[in-house]
């Protein structure tokens, strides 16, 4: 498993990087890759998103960009304090995208366990939940059985920014973060556990 780390990336630049790596994986020139990054504040609309799910584009005077992306799912927020894990994985052997999503959820659930947070799956939708609140969102895309996009984990984002959208299309799905739950872990501490579990889950 190859790891790529960015302190922060503009969202369009991240998409371009993923497109290049997917092509390289298909060509057999690079191995499966996990990108760990962060984005400036942005609302991203997946293939199932409705424009009406973006309620506001300015929160407390701060403008938030809106970007239509090719991943599955609805509208999500990305911003500082949120760890983005893009998983570019060849699943040609299994050809099972649902299994890939479950592995992404397991990656977060196992990482949260290391910080004494019990994350679970919920029938309301994919992702990871804690006490009925969503702490991680999953959105993926697949090209010739190579996956891209991935999962976002709320470590310490500005949760007010989520008020500008209907997160993942669910009006009754408030969000939470590790810091809101009283776990003041740093991004570096979380990344260390993410990388450990990724090497076990994505063999």
168 is catalytic: yes
For the chain, which domains are there?
A: 2-201 (3.30.930.10)
Q: What is the pLDDT of residues 55-110, one digit of tens each?
A: 889 888 889 999 988 887 788 899 999 999 999 999 999 999 999 999 999 999 99
pLDDT band, very low/low/confident/very high, at 48 (cuts 50, 70, 90): confident
Q: In what order do the strands lie in the sheet with 33-37?
A: 2-5, 33-37, 82-88, 146-154, 133-143, 125-130, 120-122
Q: What is the pLDDT of residues 15-39, one digit of tens each?
A: 999 999 999 999 999 999 999 999 9
For residue 70, the model assigns a pLDDT of 80
Whole-Å CA distances, 105 to 118, 144, 176: 12, 22, 16
Choice among 21, 168, 178, 198 that is catalytic: 168
Q: What is the pLDDT of residues 139-180, one digit of tens each?
A: 999 999 999 999 999 999 999 999 898 865 566 558 999 999
Tell me if 124 sits within 8 A of 61, measured CB to CB: no
For residue 60, the model assigns a pLDDT of 86
- pTM for the model stands at 0.94
**For residue 183, with 0-12 CB atoms within 10 Å meaning exposed, 13-18 middle and 19 or more buried, which class applies?**
middle
């Amino acid at each position: 498993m190859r790891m790529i780390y960015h302190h922060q990336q503009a969202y369009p630049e991240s998409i371009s990087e993923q497109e290049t790596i997917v092509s390289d994986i298909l060509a057999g020139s690079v191995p499966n890759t996990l990108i760990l990054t962060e984005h400036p504040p942005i609302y991203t609309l997946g293939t199932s998103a409705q424009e009406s799910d973006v309620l506001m584009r300015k929160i407390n005077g701060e403008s938030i960009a809106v970007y239509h992306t090719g991943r599955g799912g609805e509208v999500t927020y990305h911003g500082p304090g949120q760890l983005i894990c893009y998983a570019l994985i060849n699943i040609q052997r299994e050809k099972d995208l649902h299994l890939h999503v479950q592995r992404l959820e397991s990656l977060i659930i196992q990482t949260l366990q290391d910080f004494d947070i019990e994350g679970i799956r919920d029938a309301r939708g994919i992702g990871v939940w804690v006490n009925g609140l969503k702490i991680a969102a999953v959105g993926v895309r697949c090209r010739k059985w190579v996956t891209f996009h991935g999962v976002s984990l709320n470590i310490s984002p500005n949760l007010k920014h989520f008020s500008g959208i209907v997160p993942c299309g669910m009006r009754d799905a408030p969000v939470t973060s590790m810091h809101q739950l009283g776990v003041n872990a740093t991004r570096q501490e979380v990344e260390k556990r993410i990388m450990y579990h990724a090497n076990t889950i994505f063999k």
